[in-house]
A and B are shown apart, each in its own frame.
Chain A
Amino acid sequence: MIDVAVVAFTQRQEAAISGESEVEFMVPLMEQAKASVGLTQSDMGFTCSGSSDFLAGQAFSFVMTIDGTGPVPPISESHVEQDGAWALYEAWVKIQCGGIDTAFVYGYGKSSPGSLRDVLATQMDPYYVCPLWPDSYAVEALAARLMLEGGHVSERRLAEIAARSRASAASNPHAVRSEPKSVDEILAEEHVLDPLRPSDLPAEADGGCAVVLAAGDRARELCERPAWIRGMDHRGDAHTLGVRDLTSSMSARLAAQHAGVADDKVDLAELYGPFTTSEHLLIEALGLDEDGTAINPSGGALAAHTMMASGLIRIGEAASRIWRGDGDRAVAHATSGPCLQQNLVCVLEGD
């Protein structure tokens, strides 16, 4: 296994970036990420991105953003119609294959032109479910009631998760929901989709992020304290909601096992839980101890949910805390699909 580290990270998240196109707001992020370690695109052994045409409302929308990398003459490049965390996984595998020691990864989403919760109905089964257009909040609300009535979680616990996210987000300049609220204030909110309250929902944002990966000595040259990827795995549950146990996440648990989360203490965890319910399930599935592990010090996706980037941002947030010495061992998680259907877990360590 080749040692690979996250050595650079930039991000931008705002409630709506209406005045700029995707490539316009990504170019400065891409440039800053590369410049922060003194690299240019020609130094990159591989480039991989994650985005979604359904957010952009445009087929092959990602090719316009590739212009921002400088792809003439053509670069070694790939794209996933997935969160950028899966692009990072592909880049990590590419480095493992040998021959390169750097990779550039980015993910972005501008969902404000459409209605994200409705657009996400199109990820459901196209024969049985999508024609009814259940939006993403409705689908999560079904899981939430199962969890609440089955005694897997309490409304107070969900409100505590929401309050913690708001409090942590206060120090995150990229958060779009950071006004403090007490647990009781959150419990007094009216339901949006009973049993979910507004604070249980993701704070939708536009934006993106860029990451530089480097291997071995190259990483040590570029970064004082590289955030080494010690394990990474991704797994998916069945597509059909009715055959899944929505009160736990088998795929997140297996991904965490294979990434080696439990091998040592975890100082901090950045979890992509779009809903309070998902964050609760993830803490259980990853076996995290909230007394010893700082959960979502950035506020997580509850504070800023940038579709197709929130997972890669979790990896960047966790890595930057290792660079700064806020922790020695961190877990980053990304998800995709309804009710945590797919999960990626990445373990990062400083020397």
Chain B
Amino acid sequence: MSSEVLQAPLVLEYPFTRSTGPVIGAFLTGLRDGVICGIRRADGTVLCPPQEYDPLTAEPLTELVEVGQAGEVVTWAWNGDPRPMQPFDRPFAWALIRLDGADTSMLHAVFAPSAAEMSTGMRVRVVWRTEREGHIADIAGFEPIPAVETA
């Protein structure tokens, strides 16, 4: 009897369709229409992406506000070898991005040619997908704003 370990491919797929509720729904509606929303907390600061409840006080949040389509890289990591399901098949940076008008950051991809072009605090702007449906990937990613434009 062979001692070789038997093996077989096993692929799990969950074709989830999730209800959004009014807050996440508004954010995704915005993405479809080329608008990015945050939500205002009692102290006036803005969470982006928006959440239904304040993470510190558990107060329900209801006031969705538009934030900017450019912002600042809070932190980043260079992804030299993208994994199969990730947003881009060439090396890119993962980043937490704080958009103008928001006080918290969102995770997304930054399309930079190399790690040398990335830095904390750099300015980036959204790159929209042409076909949009109300999904986080309606944002294809972010791209660096050349310094000459920010100056």
Contacts and interface: CB of A to CB of B under 8 A. Distances in A.
A134 B86 contact: yes
Given A132-B109, A240-B51, A138 B94 contact: yes
B107 A128 contact: yes
B83 A142 contact: no
Interface in B81-98: 83-87, 94-96, 98
Nearest to B14: A122
Given A57-B12, A131-B136, A131-B137, A142 B75 contact: yes
Interface stretch (A2-10, A190-198, A215-223, A319-327): A190-198
B76 A127 contact: no
Nearest to A237: B55
B94 A128 contact: no
B78 interface: yes
B10 A57 contact: yes
Interface residues of B, number: 41
B12 A242 contact: no
B140 to A, nearest CB: 11
B137 A146 contact: no
Contacts of A134: 86, 94, 107
B40 interface: no
Interface stretch (B16-24, B123-131, B143-151): B16-24
Contacts of A30: none
B120 A142 contact: no
Contact of B55 (A113, A149, A238, A246): A238
Nearest to A131: B136
Given A128-B107, A131-B135, A134-B107, A146 B51 contact: no
A194 to B, nearest CB: 4
Given A134-B94, A142-B94, A193 B79 contact: yes
A18 B134 CA distance: 42
B29 interface: no
Interface in A116-152: 117-118, 121, 126-129, 131-135, 138-139, 141-146, 149
Contact of B96 (A133, A135, A142, A195): A142
Contacts of A57: 10, 12
A39 interface: no
A241 interface: yes
A243 interface: yes
Nearest to A147: B75
A19 interface: yes
B107 A242 contact: yes
Nearest to A133: B85
Residue of A115, A121, A144, A145 with highest tally of chain B CB at under 10 A: A145
Interface residues of A, number: 37
A19 to B, nearest CB: 5
B38 to A, nearest CB: 11
Interface in B34-81: 47-49, 51, 55, 74-80
A126 B18 contact: yes
Nearest to A239: B55
Residue of B10, B77, B135 with highest tally of chain A CB at under 10 A: B77
A133 B83 contact: yes
Contact of A241 (B12, B18, B107): B107
Contacts of A240: 49, 51, 55, 104
B14 to A, nearest CB: 9
Contacts of B5: 18-19
A243 B55 contact: yes
B108 interface: yes
A186 B75 CA distance: 23
Contacts of B78: 191, 193-194
B55 A132 contact: no
Given A113-B10, A193-B80, A194-B80, A145 B105 contact: no
Contact of A195 (B55, B77, B98): B77
26 contacts: A18-B7, A19-B5, A57-B12, A118-B85, A128-B106, A128-B136, A129-B107, A133-B85, A135-B83, A138-B77, A141-B94, A144-B77, A145-B75, A145-B76, A193-B78, A194-B115, A195-B77, A238-B55, A240-B49, A240-B51, A240-B104, A241-B96, A241-B105, A242-B96, A242-B98, A242-B106
10 closest residue pairs by CB, A with B: A141-B77, A133-B85, A194-B78, A238-B55, A242-B105, A242-B104, A146-B75, A145-B75, A243-B55, A138-B94
Interface of B: 5, 7, 10, 12, 16, 18, 20, 24, 28, 47-49, 51, 55, 74-80, 83-87, 94-96, 98, 104-109, 115, 120, 135-137
